[in-house]
Amino acid sequence: MQPDQLRAVAQRWIDEDPDYETQQELKRLLEAEDLSATDLADRFAGTLEFGTAGLRGVLGAGPNRMNRAVVIRATYGLCDALLEDFKDEARTRGVVIGYDGRRMSREFAEDAAGVLAARGVHVHLFTTCSPTPLCAFAAKKLGAVAGIMVTASHNPPEYNGYKVYWANGAQIIPPIDTRIAERIAKAPAAKAIERFDMHDMKEDKLVHEVGVGVERAYLDAVRALAVTEGGTRSLKIVYTPLHGVGNRIVTQAFHESGFSFVQTVPEQANPDGAFPTVAFPNPEEKGAMDLAFALAKKEKADLVLANDPDADRLAVAVPDESSKTGYRQLTGNQVGVLLGHYLLTEGPRDGKRLVIASIVSSPMLGAIAKALGVRYEETLTGFKWIANRAMELEQTEKLRFVFGFEEALGYTIGQLVRDKDGISAAIGFAELTAMLRSKGKSVLDRLEELYREYGLFTSSQVTVTRKGVEGAAELKAMMQRLRDKPVALVGDVKVTAIADFESRTRTVLGNGGPQPISLPKTNMIAFELEGGSRIIARPSGTEPKVKFYFDVREPMTKDESLQDAMKRAGEKTKKLEEAFVKLAG
């Protein structure tokens, strides 16, 4: 875009922006003699794409940023879709709106409420910042036609986002997201969209506060998920919400579940959108858990738990003398396998049970489920797919959903929340730890027992990145080569089946033609290997890179040490990585 064009579109945005602060932000950028020295071109390079996760982006002025104008237009488009789908019922059942502790979260929530109320739609608004799982729970509990959660989850401080739940309490999936996006594109300029202020909404009784009754119902439901009442509840637990919104409700849930020795990392206890003690508020990032480990070491804690800032993810660390910090942080796959096994073996066994994992998560839960006679399913990446598939199978096949997880620290137990829930997962993992301790075992003991019984499963990733348009074309050609010339061997390991999710077919090599698979179409290929290992090739939808996921299954002999088995699995993984990257070109 030429400088004159850029100045014109920026000025048009200023004229249509209802927010004085972002108006001034753009005016300051337009004062620069050389616009190329600013980020103005990027701000107008496109618009934030509304997809199955709603909106997420860097805060700032312009259509390619998160700001009040973008939120106002998004809510107008969402309202159009709701009124079309639910008619007058949308106005009476209303929309739940929650928000986290990030910068501009409350302002975005009130703007969304104002747009809905001006069109006669009732709003159930949280009065203070709250966890994402509580918003998802409230949408279902209150019978709303939709839920809006203003959050950027575990993204850096400069981000915010806008997440949408549908009437079933789960995140939106196609084609709903596409229809909403089409209506957002047709929405008027933000300044032309009518909004009620909070006083008007309260006067007209169009906004209702989400009261303590909803939180009380959620806490009661978390308590009802308990599968073991015994165990040693005197565990010393260190918890951190990473400057997010989890502390108050998580510590309450612990107390009501009998865990009274819980200490929150004081420097990270309260919501703070600046996230002053961490470079990146994601418990998986290096250094994010340092303060928690230091407190745990001082207090000789038995368990370290962390939520991300909106409390929908859970990280777990357990004592380990061989670690420099004194604690070993478990992977998302290890937590998912441990929780899933616990719920299946200690929980109720009535009905036909179901567990679900995303396809890039460890297949170990599938091996456990098969051995226990439990239905196991895999979905595309993202909890929206797990939740919606669970509800589909509950309805069509009368299965009882027990547990779902994805390797990026996302877990959900039962039907409480139709999304990942780091709060109930934290209580569940504490109960698991207490149960093991009452039997004289540790979490690491149980993990080793599972490896010995079902095989040692290890996971790794290799990312291949290219630059620019040429790089994107090269990666596209790489995926096409993998399709055109099916791989029969990776190193010295035989490929037994290939699943192509773009053509939605799975072919067992040497055993007939392709068979249909039920998962939605996506650009991904899975190679199933002899012995239960697996490789997945999956390009990014937004960046010029391809990720290769390696899940290796290595049987353990009766008397060998876990250390020896881990070494052997690591060597096998490295060989597979090198061989597959070479094959992919």
Q: Return the DSSP state at 49.
A: -
Tell me how far apart the alpha carbons of residues 476 and 51 are, in angstroms, rounded to a whole number: 22
Q: What pTM did the predictor assign? A: 0.94
Question: Hey, which residues are catalytic here?
Answer: 153
Q: Return the pLDDT at 541.
A: 67
Model pLDDT for residues 555-564, shown as the tens digit of each residue:
998 889 999 9
Side chain identity, residue 554: E
Query: What residues pair up with 489 in beta bridges, in sequence order?
Result: 494
pLDDT at 167: 97
In angstroms, rounded to a whole number, what is the distance separating the alpha carbons of residues 122 and 23? 30
Distance CA 9, CA 401 (A): 50
**Alpha carbon 127 to chain centroid, angstroms:** 24
Q: Would you give per-residue pLDDT tens digits along the chain (585 residues)?
A: 889 999 999 999 999 999 999 999 999 999 998 999 999 999 999 999 897 679 999 999 999 999 999 999 999 999 999 999 999 999 999 999 999 999 999 999 999 999 999 999 999 999 999 999 999 999 999 999 999 999 999 999 999 999 999 999 999 999 999 999 999 999 999 999 999 998 888 888 899 999 899 999 999 999 999 998 766 789 999 999 999 999 999 999 999 999 999 999 999 999 999 999 998 999 999 999 999 999 999 999 999 999 999 999 999 999 999 999 999 999 999 999 999 999 999 999 999 999 999 999 999 999 999 999 999 999 999 999 999 999 999 999 999 999 999 999 999 999 999 999 999 999 999 999 999 999 999 999 999 999 999 999 999 999 998 887 788 888 999 999 999 888 899 999 999 999 999 999 999 998 878 999 989 999 999 999 999 999 999 987 667 789 999 999 999 988 899 999 999 999 999 999 999 999 988
Phi and psi, residue 490, nearest 5°: -115, 105
Query: How does strand 55-58 pair with strand 159-165?
Result: antiparallel
State the Cα–Cα distance between residues 487 and 475, nearest whole angstrom: 17
Count the neighbouring beta carbons within 10 Å of the beta carbon of residue 547. Answer: 16
Q: What confidence tens digit (pLDDT) does each residue in 420-474 have?
A: 999 999 999 999 999 999 999 999 999 999 999 999 999 999 999 888 778 888 8
CA 360 → CA 5, 401, 450, distances in Å? 44, 20, 20
* Fold topology of 333-453: Alpha-D-Glucose-1,6-Bisphosphate; Chain A, domain 3 (3.40.120)
User: What CA–CA distance (Å, rounded) separates 170 from 420?
Assistant: 10
Whole-angstrom Cα distance, residue 368 to residue 364?
6
The domains spanning 3-210 and 455-584 adopt the same CATH topology: no
Q: Is 341 helix (H, G, I), strand (E, B) or coil?
A: helix
* Top-level class of domain 217-327: alpha beta
Asked, as a colleague might, if the bond just before 266 is cis with ω within 30 of 0, I would say no
DSSP string, 78-138: HHHHHHHHHTHHHHHH-EEEEE-SSTTHHHHHHHHHHHHHHTT--EEE-SS---HHHHHHH
Report whether 226 contacts 237 (CB < 8 A).
no
In the DSSP assignment, the letter for residue 349 is -
CA distance 502 to 512: 20
Structure tokens at 367: 């091996």
CATH 3.10.290.10 is right for the domain spanning 455-584: no
**Is the separation of the CB atoms in 359 and 378 below 8 Å?**
yes
How many Cβ atoms sit within 10 Å of the Cβ of residue 280? 16
Q: What is the structure's pLDDT at 469?
A: 76
Q: What pLDDT score was predicted for residue 199?
A: 85
Measure the CA–CA gap between 413 and 432, rounded to whole angstroms.
13
**Do the Cβ atoms of 404 and 357 come closer than 8 Å?**
yes
Provide DSSP, 161-191.
EEEEE-TTSSB--TTHHHHHHHHHHTPPPGG
CATH architecture of 3-210: 3-Layer(aba) Sandwich (3.40)
- What's residue 486's pLDDT? 80
Looking at residue 233, what is its pLDDT?
Answer: 87
Q: In this structure, what are the phi and psi dihedrals at residue 513, rounded to the nearest 5 degrees? A: -85, -175
Domain range annotation of the chain: 3-210, 217-327, 333-453, 455-584
Structure tokens at 111: 């703007």
- Using left for φ > 0, alpha for ψ between -120 and 50, and beta otherwise, residue 301 falls in beta
The label of the residue with tokens 């290939």 reads: 498
